[in-house]
Amino acid sequence: MFFIGEYANMITASAVAATVFFGGWQGPFLPGPLWLVLKVVVFLVFYIWIRATFPRLRYDQLMDVGWKVLFPLALANVLVTGVVLYLI
């Protein structure tokens, strides 16, 4: 049941991503529902490919990356954006 729930989550996330980022059912030549299924399959394959390619991080490693890399990058992004908006 855990794996079924995990794959249901992956399919749902792929469907939401296809709808939000790739226009959902809109596309040329094919009927709308077929386009949506095609886009969901593309996202799902990409999702599974990325998941199988990169190793999983332990919780302590993830927190280490978050605090030592991502948080300073976020602060630098806020600083740069503030400077750019001030100068414009």
| Three state DSSP letters for 18-49 | HHHHCCCCCCCCCCHHHHHHHHHHHHHHHHHH
Q: What is the pLDDT of residue 38?
A: 92
Determine the pLDDT at residue 37.
92
Look at residue 31 in the predicted model and tell me its pLDDT.
85
> 10-63, pLDDT tens digit by residue?
999 999 999 998 888 787 888 878 999 999 999 999 999 998 898 888 999 999
pTM of the model: 0.61
More confident residue, 79 or 3: 79
Nearest Cα residue to 75 out of 66, 87, 64, 85: 66
| Under 8 Å between Cβ of 25 and 36 | yes
